[in-house]
A and B are shown apart, each in its own frame.
Chain A
Amino acid sequence: MTVKVVYCGICSFPPEYCEFGGAFKRCKEWLEKKEPELFQKLYSVEALEKATSSLSIEKQEEIERKIQKDQKKNEARAERELANKLSSKIYVKRIERNKRKHVIAISGLELCGIDMKKLAKVFASKFATGASVTKTADGKDEIVIQGDVGDEVETYIVDMLEEKGLDDVKVEQVAEKPKKKKPQV
């Protein structure tokens, strides 16, 4: 009774919508390997001929041109973004405020498409502490959490990246000591 729909292993759409999924080339390669019958059904010459739209030829060509242009743009962008993401690094910085007080500042999240305000909220409730998004000197956002929770934060972020398929993004803990006071005379 149920219909079983195949989903693309690259863009997750039903393969007939891969052309709108932003990774068309990779999607087609995947489909040809994994679902050759469906590949034939969608991309054989006859299939492509049959799929012509009911709109007027000019209108149709215009739409196809636009779709192809978007495809190229999206693919280039997706590749750029992926490369950017994978080469980025997230820093979990432990800053010593005084002998017993530490805060954790997380930077480098912006490339991974993470909503920092929401993540700060998650941390605030998870660790029952204060957490907020602040601007750094170079104009980037970072999450600052009150308390010495660097390890927990690192674990959480690593899990989150894994879930997003961004395992290659590195997470690094660094420590920042307060500047030494001038020795008293």
Chain B
Amino acid sequence: MPNAMFKKFSREEVHSRSNIKSSVQRGLKAKLIEQFPGLESVIEEAMPKKSQMVQIKCSDKVTLYSINSEVLFFQSFDDPLVPTIKFVHKYPEAFPRVKVDRGAIKFVLSGANIMCPGLTSPGASLPESPGLDVGAVVSIYAENKEHALAVGVLTMSTEDIKSINKNCGVEVCHYLGDGLWNFSE
């Protein structure tokens, strides 16, 4: 998943839109639940059977999935599905989370990846052992804030982040204020 992949994103990057067949939509939902077990109890509410999901193909093999003109998930190539921040805001319990300290907020909001110390300092927090594996999609929160400010992918397992505590720990792919945040259908 490319870092800050929506930094310069805009409507001009959209190549095509197509309605997704209900059979494909079912498969996508199953994949989402497999990836985010916490979604299972809310998926019918979030993506009702009757709703029409739209696949939006964009530059650089990025695909967005929307319902009622609201993008819920995206994907780069065949990488894991990643929820948009707005979707995380709606269903915060459905996704695993990490928390950065206050000092890291402005870097996250400029699209920078998160260094381990920003995830291990006193204001930050990570899931307890056994934690999450490398490659896991996580929602990103911040010290003393209630809502997520970004979503990203772990470049180290959370246990490694704690023990090694240097280099990049989370690749930020979508954050408040980037092109996808400002994108509207």
Q: Which residues of A contact B (CB under 8 A)?
A: 1-5, 11-14, 16-17, 20-21, 51, 53-55, 59-60, 63, 66-67, 70, 115, 118-119, 121-122, 163
CB-based contact A16/B101 at 8 Å: no
Task: Report which of B12, B46, B102 forms a contact with A115, defined as CB distance below 8 A.
Answer: B12
B136 within 8 A of A: no
Closest A residue, CB atoms, query B149: A17
> Which residues of the partner chain A approach B177 to less than 8 Å between Cβ atoms?
11-13, 21
B95-139 contact mask (Cβ, 8 Å, vs A): 1 or 0: 000000111011001000000000001110000000000000000
CB-based contact B45/A3 at 8 Å: no
> Which residues of the partner chain A approach B102 to less than 8 Å between Cβ atoms?
53, 55, 60, 63
Instruction: Output the residue of B90, B91, B143, B147 with the most chain A CB within 10 A.
Output: B147
Q: Which residues of B contact A (CB under 8 A)?
A: 8, 10-13, 42, 45-46, 89-92, 101-103, 105-106, 109, 121-123, 143-147, 149, 176-177, 181-182
> Which residues of the partner chain A approach B109 to less than 8 Å between Cβ atoms?
17, 20
> Which residues of the partner chain A approach B45 to less than 8 Å between Cβ atoms?
1-2
CB-based contact A3/B182 at 8 Å: no
A18-B144 Cα distance, complex, nearest whole Å: 14
Known: A5-B147, A118-B12. A54 touches B91 (CB 8 A): no
Known: A2-B90, A3-B92, A17-B176. A53 touches B8 (CB 8 A): no
Known: A3-B89, A5-B89, A20-B106. A13 touches B176 (CB 8 A): yes
A119-B13 Cα distance, complex, nearest whole Å: 10
A70-B105 Cα distance, complex, nearest whole Å: 12
Whole-angstrom distance from the CB of A17 to the nearest CB of chain B? 6
Given contacts A1-B45, A20-B106, A63-B102, 19 further A-B contacts (CB under 8 A): A2-B91, A3-B90, A5-B89, A12-B181, A14-B145, A14-B176, A17-B109, A17-B145, A17-B149, A20-B109, A21-B177, A51-B144, A54-B143, A55-B121, A60-B102, A63-B103, A66-B106, A115-B10, A163-B11
Instruction: Output the residue of B91, B102, B149 with the most chain A CB within 10 A.
Output: B102
9 closest A-B pairs by CB: A54-B122, A5-B89, A118-B12, A54-B123, A14-B147, A2-B90, A51-B144, A63-B103, A53-B102
A-B contact pairs, 5 of them (CB 8 A): A12-B176, A53-B123, A70-B106, A115-B8, A122-B12
Closest B residue, CB atoms, query A64: B102
Closest A residue, CB atoms, query B89: A5
Task: Report which of B11, B103, B182 forms a contact with A55, defined as CB distance below 8 A.
Answer: B103
Closest A residue, CB atoms, query B147: A14
A177-B2 Cα distance, complex, nearest whole Å: 48
